[in-house]
């Protein structure tokens, strides 16, 4: 006997699957809408949930979670921290000790670590568990409901939610996996098979480890999806670089669409349609494409003109602020309110004063401090945000950038402390040495130095930079070109000071730095590239 799904025309499956996803997301969206009117009460409930769940953990016992009754109690018992202060506790979890940061229950037990860029180290390990995924879903579900409510035509086809090529997965000494969780884990609990019916690119593509094979497979599935309605990526350059590869593979892609490949049946009529339309006018390939969701703030804004030129007329939706550690804001009704049902938030101003969500004022610039169900407590994200307005009584926030010196052209998140460690490891400690981005397409990082350089310095530099998982990923998918070395003639620091003065900086404020987030130093400093581009 045929199942209902097998009797459903294939063209309707994406619509029906998306409708099922929306139905499953509606309760969280309604709860979020109600919560917007009372952020103080909502946040107190979230904090109480986290403290109660983890009172019997080692961290909870050390900080008397069971006796804490208010936000003031929590602030008095737990100091502000960051990854460095959490590191000893995280190490215990990584070594296999149970119930350290969170309780040893099915929902709270740490089951994996996700890598993120560290400040002084190449990376930091972020603990993850089922409760943290649930907290992310409390923010993602309202966003998805709001997205399709305001753009209902997007339901009439498939969506592309960016899928990254797989990186090697390792395990901690205690046996916990280190690597990024499956995307479907954050999509409201739908099974991967059900998710794939609504997606233009199946989740199996993420298991391709060769970036070239991943890019080809992604383009092949996108070309097969004439009903593509929604594209959701993070940095807009991710999409433009992906689409830039289309002309070079056009004939091969059309052949595979026509004849089919393993797991992708032949689509001769679609191939003929694509051949007639050509690859020079991308909107004609997907005439129903109705929205692109991506970052638009901070450094991501520089990639928007290229995206608009590639897909003119397709509306853009600015994404919310989402980090490996937490979801901070989400798109909702044209604003970006705090994901106040997901985690407990505090906000630190430049004077060190702390504010709760309901205490923030429009125009205020603050830094985000978060407490999550994944075992991070009063954790500084080092993200600066501006209060742009309110949704009901809840603040809407705009991401301004990192509070410390960070260069983040394409999501690589290089910090000064990490780069300083890279330069020291390369032996560049006896003179001028500074890493900075160079505006090219794709952009690259250039090491400026007046010290002697060997012929393999650029390759060794690239290898060290790739210890940062975000840099490695951006380089793997072609969002960053390989690093190069620029030999500065004469006294490098003197040349650097003169260049800074030429940019209007006071001489008393000029300090040496391992990393400059600013570009343009190749023109400002005297010298030349001294090594070829590494392979």
pLDDT tens for the 535 residues of the chain, in order:
334 344 445 566 677 888 888 888 999 999 999 999 999 999 999 999 999 999 999 999 999 999 999 999 999 999 999 999 999 999 999 999 999 999 999 999 999 998 876 554 556 899 999 999 999 999 999 999 999 999 999 999 999 988 766 666 789 999 999 876 555 555 655 555 556 677 899 878 878 878 888 889 999 999 999 999 999 988 887 888 889 899 999 999 999 999 999 878 999 999 999 999 999 999 999 999 999 999 888 767 777 888 999 999 999 999 999 888 999 999 999 999 999 999 999 999 988 999 999 999 999 999 999 999 999 999 999 888 999 999 999 999 999 877 767 888 888 889 887 888 899 899 987 788 999 999 888 899 999 998 888 789 999 999 999 999 999 999 988 899 999 999 998 878 878 878 876 765 555 456 678 898 888 898 888 899 885 554 4
Dist CA 56 CA 60 (whole Å): 6
Tokens of 38: 């009372």
Q: How many residues does the chain have?
A: 535
Dist CA 121 CA 133 (whole Å): 26
- The residue from 102, 129, 156 where one domain ends is 129
Helix, strand or coil, per DSSP, at residue 411: coil
Q: How do beta strands 354-355 and 344-348 pair?
A: antiparallel
The gap between the terminal CA atoms of the chain, to the nearest Å, is 56
Query: The whole model's pTM is what?
Result: 0.81
Report the pLDDT value the prediction gives residue 8, as an integer from 0 to 100. 47
- The residue from 402, 426, 449 where one domain ends is 402
Inside any domain, residue 338: no
**Residue 320, burial from CB neighbour count under 10 angstroms (0-12, 13-18, 19+):** buried
CA distances (Å), origin 320, targets 128, 148, 230, 331, 336: 21, 16, 17, 6, 6
Work out the number of other CB atoms within 10 angstroms of the CB of residue 507.
Answer: 9
Q: Cα dihedral angle (90, 95, 96, 100), rounded to 10 degrees?
A: -30
Q: Are residues 414 and 377 in the same domain?
A: no
- The residue from 382, 402, 422 where one domain ends is 402
Q: Are residues 240 and 206 in the same domain?
A: yes
Inside any domain, residue 323: no
Q: For the chain, how many structural domains are there in total?
A: 4
State the DSSP H helix or E strand holding residue 41, giving kind and residue range, or none if neither.
helix 39-53
Inside any domain, residue 327: no
Dist CA 511 CA 152 (whole Å): 53
**Residue 269, burial from CB neighbour count under 10 angstroms (0-12, 13-18, 19+):** exposed
Nearest CA to 194 out of 29, 28, 13, 27 is that of 13
Q: Are residues 22 and 79 in the same domain?
A: no
Inside any domain, residue 313: yes
Q: Are residues 246 and 119 in the same domain?
A: no
What order do you get walking across the sheet with 228-232 strand by strand?
158-161, 228-232, 291-294, 316-318
Q: Are residues 361 and 229 in the same domain?
A: no
Inside any domain, residue 333: no
Report the pLDDT value the prediction gives residue 117, as an integer from 0 to 100. 62
Q: Are residues 265 and 148 in the same domain?
A: yes
Cβ neighbours for 454, distance < 8 A, ≥ 6 positions apart: none
Inside any domain, residue 309: yes
Inside any domain, residue 76: yes
What order do you get walking across the sheet with 379-391 strand by strand?
354-355, 344-348, 365-371, 379-391, 394-402
Q: Are residues 367 and 457 in the same domain?
A: no
Work out the number of other CB atoms within 10 angstroms of the CB of residue 352.
Answer: 7
Report the pLDDT value the prediction gives residue 9, as an integer from 0 to 100. 52
Cβ(139)–Cβ(276) below 8 Å: no
Report the pLDDT value the prediction gives residue 355, as an integer from 0 to 100. 98
Q: Are residues 175 and 251 in the same domain?
A: yes
Q: Are residues 309 and 412 in the same domain?
A: no
Helix, strand or coil, per DSSP, at residue 189: coil
Dist CA 372 CA 22 (whole Å): 25
Dist CA 360 CA 363 (whole Å): 9
Q: Are residues 358 and 443 in the same domain?
A: no
Q: Are residues 275 and 236 in the same domain?
A: yes
Inside any domain, residue 86: yes
Q: Are residues 298 and 379 in the same domain?
A: no
Provide the domain limits for residue 111: 39-129
Dist CA 31 CA 328 (whole Å): 17
Nearest CA to 477 out of 492, 466, 488, 486 is that of 466
Tokens of 383: 């993200």
- 389-417 burial: b if 16+ Cβ within 10 Å, else e: ebbebbbbbbbeebbebbbbbbbbbbbbb
């Amino acid at each position: 006997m045929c199942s209902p799904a097998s009797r459903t025309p294939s063209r309707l499956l994406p619509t029906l699957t998306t409708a099922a996803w929306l139905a499953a997301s509606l309760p969280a969206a309604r709860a979020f809408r109600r919560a917007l009117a009372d952020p103080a009460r909502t946040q107190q409930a979230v904090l109480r949930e986290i403290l109660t769940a983890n009172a019997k953990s080692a961290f909870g016992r050390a900080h008397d979670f069971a006796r804490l009754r208010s936000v003031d109690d929590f602030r008095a018992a737990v100091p502000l921290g960051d990854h460095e202060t959490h590191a000893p506790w995280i190490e215990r979890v990584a070594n296999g000790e149970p119930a350290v940061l969170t309780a040893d229950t099915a929902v709270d037990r740490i089951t994996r670590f996700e890598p993120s860029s560290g400040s002084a180290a190449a990376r930091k390990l972020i603990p993850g568990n089922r409760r943290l995924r649930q907290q992310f879903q409390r923010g993602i579900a309202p966003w998805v409901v709001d997205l399709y409510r305001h753009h209902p035509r997007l339901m009439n086809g498939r969506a592309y939610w960016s899928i990254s090529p797989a990186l090697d997965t390792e395990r901690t000494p205690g046996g916990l996996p280190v690597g990024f969780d499956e995307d479907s884990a954050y999509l409201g609990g739908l099974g991967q098979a059900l998710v794939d019916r609504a997606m233009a690119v199946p989740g199996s593509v993420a298991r391709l480890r060769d970036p070239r094979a991943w890019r080809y497979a992604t383009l092949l599935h996108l070309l097969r999806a004439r009903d593509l309605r929604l594209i959701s990526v993070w940095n807009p350059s991710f999409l433009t670089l992906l689409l830039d590869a289309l002309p070079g593979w056009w004939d091969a892609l059309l052949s595979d669409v026509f004849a089919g490949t393993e797991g992708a049946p032949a689509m001769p009529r679609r191939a003929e349609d694509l051949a007639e339309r050509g690859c020079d006018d991308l909107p004609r390939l997907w005439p129903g494409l109705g929205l692109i969701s991506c970052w638009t703030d901070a450094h991501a804004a520089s990639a928007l003109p290229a995206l608009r030129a590639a897909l003119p007329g397709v509306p853009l939706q600015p994404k919310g602020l989402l980090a490996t550690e937490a979801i901070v804001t989400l798109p909702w009704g044209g604003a970006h309110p705090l994901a106040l049902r997901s985690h407990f938030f505090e906000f630190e101003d430049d004077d060190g004063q702390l504010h709760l969500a309901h205490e923030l004022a429009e125009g205020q610039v603050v830094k985000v401090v978060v407490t999550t169900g994944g075992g991070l407590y009063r954790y500084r994200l080092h993200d600066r945000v501006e209060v742009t307005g309110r949704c009901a009584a809840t603040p809407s926030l705009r991401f301004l950038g990192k509070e410390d010196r960070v260069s983040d052209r394409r999501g690589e998140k290089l910090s000064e402390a990490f780069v300083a460690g890279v330069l020291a490891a390369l032996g560049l400690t006896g003179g001028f040495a500074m890493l900075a981005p160079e505006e090219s397409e794709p952009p690259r990082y250039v090491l400026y130095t007046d010290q002697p350089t060997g012929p393999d310095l650029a390759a060794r530099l690239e290898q060290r930079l790739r210890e940062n998982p975000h840099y490695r990923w951006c380089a793997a998918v072609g969002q960053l070109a390989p690093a190069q070395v620029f030999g500065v003639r004469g006294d490098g620091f003197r040349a650097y000071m003169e260049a800074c003065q030429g940019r209007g900086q006071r001489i008393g404020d000029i300090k040496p730095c391992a990393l400059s987030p600013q570009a343009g130093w190749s023109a400002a400093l005297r010298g030349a590239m001294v090594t070829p581009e590494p392979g």
